[in-house]
Amino acid sequence: MRTIFVAVSFLVFTLPVAAQTEGDLILGQTAPDFTLPYATKDSVARKPLHLSELFGKEIIVLAFYPADWSPGCTKEVCTIRDNFDALEGLNAQVLAISGDYVWSHHEWAKYHNLSFRLLSDHTHDVARTYDSYNDKSHYNKRTVFVIDKRGKIAYIDLAYSVADMGSFDKLKKALGDLK
């Protein structure tokens, strides 16, 4: 009996896994859909946002970030805010996503006069789907995705940095290439 158990156990643990796991997003694939509550500087929305309802209208920038009110995240969203006209000129709509609640998003957006939507992914399910969740810190990673008008992933930056304008410049170039 003991030998059979070891053989079965060995087989179970050494079989290769062929299924695609979350975080395996690639350029050109349809962006995973989601529905999340959101806030703006003006209000907390009554109805949640459905990503797929935006397909076909504008290019979408999904900007995952760790937390409202932190220095790095404030720098990131203020960079987007200060360059929002350039992004809008490239026909892009920004959706910033963290695990904070919509009430925090609303106050943070008001305080910094942010002109884009802040989505609340409190369970981090969307962040996990987009390989934008850090299991060790339990916060979102700082990542950026661009979704074209057809709903396809056109740009991925899994190491977006606020240290300088390099990552933002790459984002603008990717948006310009889609125009």
Could you list the active site residues? 73
Tokens linked to 147? 């979704």
In single-letter form, the type of residue at position 21 comes to T
d(CA 154, CA 177): 10
Half-sphere exposure of 157 (CA within 13 A, CB side): 23
Other CB atoms within a 10 A radius of the CB of residue 155 amount to 19
169 membership: H or E segment, kind and range: helix 166-178
Q: Please answer whether residues 145 and 156 qualify as being in contact, where contact means their C-beta atoms are separated by less than 8 angstroms.
A: yes
Rounded to 5 degrees, what are φ and ψ at 131?
50, 40
d(CA 7, CA 155): 45
